[in-house]
Amino acid sequence: MKYRELIAEMTLEEKASLMSGKDYWQTENIERLGINSIFLADGPHGIRRQAAASDKIGLNQGVPATCYPTAATVANSWNAELGEKVGEYLGEEAVSQKVNVLLGPGINMKRNPLCGRNFEYFSEDPYLAGKMAAGYIRGIQSHGVSACVKHFAVNNQEEKRMTIDTIVDERTLREIYLTAFEIAVKEGKTKSIMSSYNKLNGTYTNENFHLMQEILRGEWGYTGTVITDWGGSNDRIEGLLAGNELEMPSTAGETDREIMEAIKNGKIKEEVLDESVDRLLDLIFSTEAAINRSKVEIDIDKHHRVSQKVAEESIVLLKNEEDILPLKFGKKVAVIGEFAQNARYQGAGSSLVNPTILDHTMDSFEESGILSIGYEPGFERYGKKNKQMIDRACGLAEKADVVLLYIGLDEVTEAEGLDRKNMKIPENQIDLLHAIHEVNQNIIAIISCGSAVEMPWIEKVKGLLHGYLGGQAGARAILRVLSGDVNPSGKLAETYPLKYEDTPSYRHFPGKEATVEYREGPFIGYRYYDTAGVDVLFPFGYGLSYTTFEYSDIQVDRSGVSFCLTNRGTKAGMEVAQLYIGCRSDKIFRASKELKGFTKVFINAGESKTVRIPFDDKTFRYFNIETNRWEKESAHYDIMIGSSSADIRLVDTVLIEGTEAPVPYDKEKLSAYYSGKVSNVSKDEFENLIGRKLPDPTWNRNKPLGYNDTIAQCQYAKGLFGRIAYHSIIFTHRFLWKIGKRSTANIIMMSILNLPFRGIARMTGGVVNMPMLDGILMMVNGHFFKGIWHTIKEKIKLRKVLKRKNTNVSQ
Please tell me the pTM assigned to this model: 0.96
pLDDT recorded at residue 649: 98
pLDDT in tens, 78-96: 999 999 999 999 999 999 9
**Pair 646, 727 in one domain:** no
Total number of domains constituting the chain = 4
pLDDT recorded at residue 294: 76
Dist CA 342 CA 168 (whole Å): 41
Q: What percent of the chain has pLDDT over 70?
A: 98
Does the pLDDT of residue 626 top 60, yes or no? yes
pLDDT recorded at residue 160: 93
Domain that includes residue 742, residue range: 711-810
Give the residue from 619, 644, 672 where a domain finishes.
672
Does the pLDDT of residue 527 top 70, yes or no? yes
Mean pLDDT over 38-67 rounds to 81
Does the pLDDT of residue 511 top 80, yes or no? yes
**Pair 336, 425 in one domain:** yes
Tally Cβ neighbours within 10 Å of residue 563: 22
Q: Which of 250, 246, 295 has the alpha carbon at shortest distance from 273? A: 246
3-state DSSP assignment of residue 269: coil
3-state DSSP assignment of residue 672: helix
Between 126-141 and 179-186, two packed helices, what is the crossing angle to 10 degrees? Answer: 30
Dist CA 112 CA 289 (whole Å): 41
Please answer whether residues 370 and 479 qualify as being in contact, where contact means their C-beta atoms are separated by less than 8 angstroms.
Answer: yes
3 state SS for 278-313: HHHHHHHHHHHHHHHHCCCCCCHHHHHHHHHHHHHH
405 part of a folded domain: yes
288 part of a folded domain: no
**Pair 452, 585 in one domain:** no
Active site (catalytic) residues: 229
Q: Determine the longest span between alpha carbons in the chain, in angstroms.
A: 82
Side chain identity at residue 258, one-letter code: E
**Pair 47, 189 in one domain:** yes
Does the pLDDT of residue 55 top 80, yes or no? no
pLDDT in tens, 263-283: 999 999 999 999 999 999 999
Q: What percent of the chain has pLDDT over 90?
A: 87
584 part of a folded domain: yes
pLDDT in tens, 698-718: 999 999 999 999 999 999 999
Strand order of the sheet with strand 40-42? 40-42, 101-103, 146-152, 192-195, 225-228
**Pair 195, 71 in one domain:** yes
Q: Is 729 left (phi over 0), alpha (psi -120 to 50) or beta?
A: alpha
pLDDT recorded at residue 807: 65
**Pair 667, 722 in one domain:** no
- Cβ neighbours of residue 739 closer than 8 Å, sequence gap 6 or more: none
pLDDT recorded at residue 458: 98
Does the pLDDT of residue 116 top 90, yes or no? yes
168 part of a folded domain: yes
424 part of a folded domain: yes
pLDDT recorded at residue 228: 97
Backbone angles phi, psi at 582, to 5 degrees: -130, 130
Distance (Å) of CA 459 to CA 420, 437, 494: 25, 10, 21
pLDDT recorded at residue 801: 75
**Pair 373, 437 in one domain:** yes
- Cβ neighbours of residue 588 closer than 8 Å, sequence gap 6 or more: 622, 633, 663, 664, 665
Does the pLDDT of residue 803 top 80, yes or no? no
Question: pLDDT-based confidence at 112, cuts 50/70/90?
Answer: very high
Question: pLDDT-based confidence at 52, cuts 50/70/90?
Answer: low
255 part of a folded domain: no
**Pair 115, 45 in one domain:** yes
pLDDT in tens, 11-32: 999 999 999 999 999 999 999 9
**Pair 448, 585 in one domain:** no
CATH number for the domain spanning 140: value is 3.20.20.300
pLDDT recorded at residue 54: 57
SS3 content of the chain, % helix, strand, coil (to 5): 40, 20, 40
Does the pLDDT of residue 810 top 60, yes or no? no
Question: pLDDT-based confidence at 534, cuts 50/70/90?
Answer: very high
pLDDT recorded at residue 744: 84
Cα 332 from chain centroid (whole Å): 40
Dist CA 707 CA 162 (whole Å): 12
Dist CA 139 CA 391 (whole Å): 49
Q: Is 609 exposed, middle or buried (0-12, 13-18, 19+ CB in 10 A)?
A: middle
Give the residue from 616, 649, 672 where a domain finishes.
672
User: What letter does residue 678 receive in the DSSP assignment?
Assistant: -
Mean pLDDT over 641-665 rounds to 97
Question: pLDDT-based confidence at 43, cuts 50/70/90?
Answer: confident
Q: Which of 756, 697, 693, 751 has the alpha carbon at shortest distance from 198? A: 756
Give the residue from 648, 672, 696 where a domain finishes.
672
Does the pLDDT of residue 673 top 80, yes or no? yes
267 part of a folded domain: no
Mean pLDDT over 624-632 rounds to 97
pLDDT: which is higher, 224 or 742: 224
19 part of a folded domain: no
Say what the alpha-carbon torsion angle 448, 449, 451, 457 is, to the nearest 10 degrees: -60
pLDDT in tens, 759-785: 998 888 778 999 999 999 999 999 999
**Pair 327, 387 in one domain:** yes
Among 411-420, 482-491, 643-652, the least confident range? 411-420
Question: pLDDT-based confidence at 805, cuts 50/70/90?
Answer: low
**Pair 738, 652 in one domain:** no
Dist CA 257 CA 259 (whole Å): 5
User: What letter does residue 229 receive in the DSSP assignment?
Assistant: P
CATH number for the domain spanning 617: value is 2.60.40.10
**Pair 224, 128 in one domain:** yes
What rounded mean pLDDT belongs to the chain? 94
